[in-house]
Amino acid sequence: MTADGRGDVPAVTRPAVRIICLDNAERVLLLHWRDPFDGRVFWEPPGGGVEADESELDAARRELTEETGLPTQTITGPVVRVQRDYSWAGRRLISLEPFFVARVGEAQVRPTALTDEEQISLLGFYWWRPEELDDPGVVVEPGELLALLAAHVGGGWLPKDGKQH
């Protein structure tokens, strides 16, 4: 979900998690969203809010199951924490999100428990290759996702010069 730069909306702190899902071809799964408030469209790793009674890992497992139906036994991490300030559905949300990694093989994406808002807002999903995400016309959140992939996944996600920048 995207940073809006608006100072007029009070910020709410929201504990949340994200899961970097990789298939056997090292493609990363991103979900395609349309904000129900302002219509902005973007791609983002699966994830969502941490409920009061669960650990971050439990939240990652639950969110991955709900949004994708993918297996959760390979989730590792968190590998990094990303400070986010973004808007969704007319609310400004601030969180320090742990990013987990899940290697899911050739599993099929089949959401199991989307909320009513998610059913309306989720436009689809796609397994991305590194060169596809380099397209400036593709809006990805967080904006530093390619750098996160290079630093914490490596392989084909390293820049063409092979160096992590």
Query: Regarding beta strands 28-34 and 122-128, do their DSSP bridges make them parallel or antiparallel, or are they unpaired?
Result: antiparallel
What global pTM score does this model have? 0.88
DSSP structure string for 64-106: HHHHH----TT-EEEEEEEEEEEEETTEEEEEEEEEEEEEEET
pLDDT at residue 164 is higher than 60: no
- Please, what is the average pLDDT of the chain? 88
Lowest mean pLDDT among 1-5, 19-23, 147-151, 154-158: 1-5
Provide the β-strand partners of residue 19.
Answer: 100
Report whether 109 contacts 127 (CB < 8 A).
no
- Classify 11-154 by CATH class: alpha beta
**Percentage of residues of the chain with pLDDT beyond 70:** 90
Residue 161: per-residue pLDDT = 53
Q: How many CB atoms lie under 10 A from the CB of residue 121?
A: 20
Residue 23: per-residue pLDDT = 94
Residue 119: per-residue pLDDT = 86
pLDDT at residue 165 is higher than 60: no
Query: Regarding beta strands 11-13 and 91-105, do their DSSP bridges make them parallel or antiparallel, or are they unpaired?
Result: parallel
Residue 72: per-residue pLDDT = 94
Instruction: Return d(Cα 60, Cα 70) in angstroms, integer.
Output: 11
User: pLDDT tens digits, residue range 62-119?
Assistant: 999 999 999 999 999 999 999 999 988 899 999 999 999 999 988 889 989 988 888 8
Instruction: Return d(Cα 65, Cα 35) in angstroms, integer.
Output: 22
Q: How many CB atoms lie under 10 A from the CB of residue 76?
A: 11
